Amino acid sequence: MNASDGYSAEEKMTEKENVEAPACLGPEPRPNPVSFTMPKGAWDTHFHVFGPTNRFPYARKRKYTPPDAPLENYLRLMEELGIERGVCVHPNLHGSDNSVTFDAVERSDGRFLAIVKVDREITLAELREMKRKGTCGVRFAFNPEHGSGELDTELFDRVVAWCEDLDLCVNLHFAAEALKGLAESLSRLRLPTIIDHFARIDTCKGVDQPEFTMLLDLMKLPHIWMKATGADRITKVGAPYEDVLPFAQALVKTAPDRIIWGTDWPHSGIFDRRRMPNDGDLANFLSVFAPTDELRQKILVDNPQRLFQQS
């Protein structure tokens, strides 16, 4: 990362290109009522903070331009949903300058951890310092919608080795089609490995599709974790996400001790208001695929505490 401006060389774009990143929508201002009571100590393991851009500008190389989604707005959502802990996941649109994410962690009174984004210029010393500042993992987001579509394997292999030494996890966001090329290498990893957003599975292909079979096989391994997040990103019918339900149920049945949940607030890269989820609806979907207090205690409290080594 270039220390002079906070961006790596690959993130630099001309001002013309920067202006042309299309504007996307912000989140719904208020959540719908939640049908259950969040357990004490509930975690949101996947949210982002965007801006404010007068302090934390977006990367020049990005696929969309959202409105500011500052920490204060997220804290209000936490209170309304009954969430107590969180993992602030650094978004691609802020590039590899993690300042906005660390600012949120620093202002959280110990309630937040960070999952960071790094580039090829990262050093072990820098990653060690990131851990000191509250980092619990490193994310590689390469699904075509938000990233390049391809995993930088040279960077991945190097960072994974460091994460093993530093007791960090690795977090992956990819399209389900990538599983064919990824599954074997992911199965051999020796550190906690988190997959985002139901692996962006294609709900139209049904639970018997090869990609989902591969995913369930991965989920039988003790180091593979799933974020039951982003139901709105894979549904074809919208809330209450009935087409996502059989996939969520199968994952919970396969690995109830390695499923975690998050809001994915503020729901980046959405351009059609009809596609924008309501955070209350997403929480209520959790109560459908995890219908008992015992399951919700696992997914919302026990599992994230164990994964992130928190008490």
142 SS3 class = coil
- CB–CB of 141/194 below 8 Å? no
Residue 22 burial (10 A CB sphere; 0-12, 13-18, 19+): exposed
Q: Is the dihedral of CA 118, 120, 121, 123 positive or negative?
A: positive
Residue 207 burial (10 A CB sphere; 0-12, 13-18, 19+): middle
C-alpha triplet 50, 277, 234: angle, nearest 5°: 100
- Greatest alpha-carbon span in the chain: 53
Catalytic residue among 44, 97, 196, 264: 264
Which residue in the block uniquely carries the two structure tokens 């990893």?
Answer: 189
Residue 264 bears catalytic tag: yes
- 281 φ/ψ angles, rounded to the nearest 5 degrees: -65, -40
Q: Which residues are catalytic?
A: 264
